[in-house]
Homo-oligomer: A and B are copies of this chain.
Amino acid sequence: MKMNAYVAGVGMTAFGKHADKTLKALAAQAIRAALEDAGIEAHAVQAAWMGNAAAGVVTGQEMIRGEVVLRGMGIGRIPVVNVENACASSSTALQQAAAMVTAGYHDVVLVCGYEKLFHEDKSRSLGAFLSAVDVEDPDGALNVVKRLAQLAGEPWEEAGPSSARSVFMDIYAMMARGHMKAYGSTPEDFARVVEKNAFHGSLNPRAQFRERLTVEQVLQARAIVAPLTLPMCSPIGDGAAAVVLVSERKARELGLRRAVKIAASVLATGWDSSAGEHDSVGGLAARQAYEAAGIGPEDLSCVELHDASAPSEIIACEYLGLCGRGEGAALLAGGHTRLGGRIPVNVSGGLLRKGHPVGATGCAQIVELTEQLRGHSGARQVEGARIALAHNGGGAIGTDAAATVVTLLERE
């Protein structure tokens, strides 16, 4: 959908383990920062979309997840919509909010993504991920892996899910094997993604991991499920991110200069991508977003994409159109997606290094890209950034993500 909503303010917590902070406290911290950045008082917020994926399973807070946060901040009376879409929860919230602002329903709205995944009882943290597949199908998660294995021509037994890790890593491993077979990508290529994003993350004070890693270190790390090693998998984490969106009218009133605008945002649900990876829901959403905004991949200054695993980044670069099919590894190896390259990808460190508190990730991508387009990203600034793309996927259904949002941002 073509959009016309302006980013007036952004804020986020550091990502990581926040044992001493409640879910509500994390969300409130991000919201306060976004309101302060926008120079807008809490009582001026006219509607809120709150994205959280797993509190029902992890903390037991369902039903009114957003209201309990906002109540404590003096925000009430207004429409509050609690939105859930697995790892794409808060980008779904953003897409909905931007559509409502574009339609003229509201002048000032709040979007927040927040998640607390760490729990003393680790089975709760892992259980959260199992709620992102069809729980009525006892083999639901396994079937996704099997189907991907079939597509890749790989024996699925090798990668059978283990209760000690998220089943999603089995899914990503099978996607990786399919890509390796089809295009000759290698574990070294996947390790190179981590090396790059670790370098980017080392420049981001809010990243969960700030140490740099060599390709060798990544390859020699603990094996999770072949070809994935531990640093090729996004970590469990806590955190929150918030965005204040305003109408064009309000942006003028606030006197926003070099304002960052949501130019398009597309939400799509997955299907069976056995017709080929370029038929994935990510590719579909990207094509629709490019068309709506009249922007092409060649116009992008930088991209934050859903690198829930290292191979995911290489595959996503392809279906987002940053390179041709099967050229993702070469794009990376040529340094083009590195800070300073032609089209830097995941300058924040990405999900792999910045962290991935599921429901918070979509908004955190918007925070990063807004700062980039404003030119406020310090050591990791992409020079002259003017147009950016955020890609956020979530859940598994068929052989695809259950939900994906692609958002295009543009600096005036």
Residues of chain A at the chain B interface (Cβ within 8 Å)? 1, 22-24, 53-57, 59-65, 67-68, 70-71, 76-86, 89, 92, 95-96, 99-100, 102-105, 127-128, 130-136, 266-271, 281, 284, 394-395, 397-398, 402-403
Contact = CB atoms under 8 A, between A and B. Distances in A.
Q: At the interface, is chain A mostly helix, strand, loop or mixed?
A: mixed
Contacts of A67: 269-270, 395, 397, 402-403
A77 B270 CA distance: 5
A103 B105 CA distance: 9
B83 A136 contact: no
Contacts of A104: 103
Contacts of A397: 64, 67-68, 71, 76
Given A105-B1, A402-B64, A271 B85 contact: no
A95 B49 CA distance: 13
A89 B77 CA distance: 17
Given A67-B402, A397-B71, A268 B61 contact: no
Given A23-B136, A131-B56, A268 B79 contact: yes
Given A81-B267, A268-B78, A270-B76, A395 B64 contact: yes
A299 to B, nearest CB: 24
Given A60-B57, A85-B82, A402-B67, A271 B131 contact: no
Given A53-B62, A79-B268, A83-B83, 20 more contacts: A22-B136, A56-B131, A60-B127, A60-B131, A61-B131, A61-B134, A63-B85, A64-B397, A64-B402, A64-B403, A65-B84, A68-B402, A70-B269, A77-B271, A77-B284, A79-B95, A79-B266, A80-B269, A81-B267, A99-B100
Contact of A84 (B24, B82, B267): B82
Contact of A85 (B64, B100, B131): B64
A267 to B, nearest CB: 4
B63 A394 contact: yes
B281 A77 contact: yes
Contacts of A127: 60
Nearest to A22: B136
Contacts of A23: 136
Contacts of A102: 103
A117 B271 CA distance: 29
Nearest to A271: B76
A84 B131 CA distance: 16
Contact of A62 (B70, B96, B128, B284): B128
A78 B402 CA distance: 11
A69 to B, nearest CB: 9
A314 to B, nearest CB: 24
A234 to B, nearest CB: 16
A57 B56 contact: yes
Contacts of A59: 135-136
A56 B124 CA distance: 12
